[in-house]
Chain A
Amino acid sequence: MSNELDQLRAAIEEIWEFSAANTPLDPFPIHFEIVPPGVMYEIGAYGVPGRFSHWTHGKAFHQMKTMYDYGLSKIYELIINTNPAQAFLMEGNNLTQNKLVIAHVIGHSDFFKNNAYFHHTDRQMAETAGVTAERIRAYEREHGEKVVEEFLDAVLAIQEHIDPNLRVIRKPRDPQPQGPRRSRGTEFDDLWELRKGEEPEAPGAPMRRKIPEEPEKDLLLFLLEYAPDLQDWQRDVLNIVRNEMLYFLPQMQTKIMNEGWASYWHSRILREMDLTPDEHVEFTRLHSGVLSPSPRGMSINPYYVGFKIFEDIERRWNGDLTEKERREYRERNHGAEWPHKGKGREKMLEVRELENDVSFLRNYLTSHLIEDLDMYIYRREGDEWVVVEKDWRKIRDMIVESMTNFGYPYLVVEDGDYRRARELYLKHCFDGRELDQNYALKTLRYVHQLWGRPVHLETIVDEEPTVWTYDGEKEVVEAHAAA
């Protein structure tokens, strides 16, 4: 065993030094840990080691473990976005597998450190998660495991509805909706100024401050600040979950880029390093296993797509365009020639710094790549899934759309005092895709559990505005709604 450890230590040093000398990568330092498969899957399921306990983590862990036991999937690489980064090597993997993983995660570590979307992530997340897990454990002891679990069930159901652009927790605002205080209130004078020119209030109707003043995308933050009946520990749990999601969101937003970047660099590093012929054969086999279309054809392989796009950027900005590409560029640009030459790496570094998956795909997934990657749109027709579209623009737009808002419907809080009864009114910003009604109604129950009063969700069904409501007793579906 110590022999294996020595071999790995040598491999890590060799690859690390090679990468430092021969690539522009600028990663966080990485601490590698050798773990048995069970622990590897556990960390994969929790996202960060030491995170709080919840049965959904147990479910994810079980699924990963089952996949592994049946040989359906293998996590070869796992790295945590912290500084220093923590990477995991699986006991029982051979040296070549581990070399590939080591080179691959150096790419990830560089991406974590340099991509703009990660700039505000908590680089001590492993410690933070451990501390907050302990706090949640204490709440379980104080309030009962079941009570905490049920609260977490509700929070986790809506955990994606946060706004990563709001990084600072604003000072909690006065949670009481208030009418104007005409008698005293110089501090409100500016409010009266703002209302000038608007329709005058009906005489006698009480004025109210709108809550939220602007539609609020961050549902978790809104609940944290305004949910009327939450106890302190519940607000703390909301905040814990929200902070963890702020940490995980950049990873969800850059899956294709991040994997493409890491794959690009593991292939470059290992290709240029001295490998024995046996190692080289094994590496080639592993590499093509990672970079192949998904076997069922119903999804895309982020490693493969991201890898090809980065290679394509390098080629084009180096100036190695095909004649067809040059002609197409001239046609689109009034006869001007493609201006880029010898800037491949530079452009790649810029892209890895500034883009996320949505902009990456929108800007760099070209018609040639879509053709080359054999991408298509499929649809279910009867009992079959059939390829229905090969038009590259439609394919690109669909994949970009599916990743917008991390793949979740975009909801905002419209009114926290709906019907002046402190009911919660959410609005789905409709983009042409309808919501799953059954799921939405079930999720509204969770929102109700957190808000404590009736909750509403406005959306579009069959081109009609519709409001779904859960009032604590029954679900109501009402078409032709008006907010």
Chain B
Amino acid sequence: MSVVLAEVAGRLGDGRELAVPSLAVAPGERVVLFGPNGAGKSTLLRMLAGRLPAPGAATWEVASSAYLPQRPYMFRGGAGWNLRLGLDGAGARRAEELAAALGVAAVLGRPARSLSGGERQRLALARVLARPESLLLLDEPLAALDARDRATVARVVAAGLRGRSAVVVTHEHDEAAVLGDRVAVMVDGSVRQVGPPAEVFALPADDEVAAVVGVGNLLRGTAAVVEDTLVAVDAGGFVVWGLGSAVAGEAAIALFGAEAATVYAGAHDDAGSARNAWSGTVAELRPAGRLVEVIVDCGARVAALVTPGSLEALALRVGSPVTVAVKATAVRVVRA
């Protein structure tokens, strides 16, 4: 039993190829469509929303959905009127509560056209989250928001999705990590890899996916220490320091790129100014374009990118003892 079951391959009206080997969304599951601009994420989402015909669909079963377009539009009229469009009485009350949670309750009396981009986005989010459908299709839900608001809005959206299914388009790692149970990576119109964010970001299926996801490392844990914007995330005894916003004792996610991690041969206690230095052994060596991805088992699996030259100089092979270091400033922490 799936809310979305899509298996489709064909050519779009504009000549682009679309290939979705298999995309299934279980009830209550949230899947993120992740990829660069032009990868076909929005196109696929619009098909799921019934706004575009799926080309040569082999399997195409999609539950009725509530859809947030990429650029929500406000119609001539009051902001409150726009908020309640398409909602029944109970839905309108939910939307007003959500608008309050999103910090736009005060703008409801104003003409919708006078709102800023961020206010429009939050109003549209309140409206779509108030819809009764069990499947939500959200295109870049946190776009048009400034960094200050994103964390708050992300939490409200995550809460609004609880218990419902969703397909969310984004090209931001932290959004993918916060809003997705699984990530489907799209490159050039095709879904290349589907899996939990940590797995996809750490173990991209191929070079192209690696180039797209870039991140390499995603660790879920609990915010153990919060010193202003400096946060220590404890992922089962493995501690990562990074910058971001979190509440001590609450769930948090630490993300950093494999290119930000430095590898030293042997065990070191001191790795320069890096807050994060972990000793472990090389678990895996994987080619990543012209570089090599070194997967180090040091309490958690950490991916680091090195040049073939360094690989040789350090004489790294599977089982070699190494230390991995990452500056805390290169690690992003978000609330889960």
A and B are partners in one complex rather than unrelated chains: no
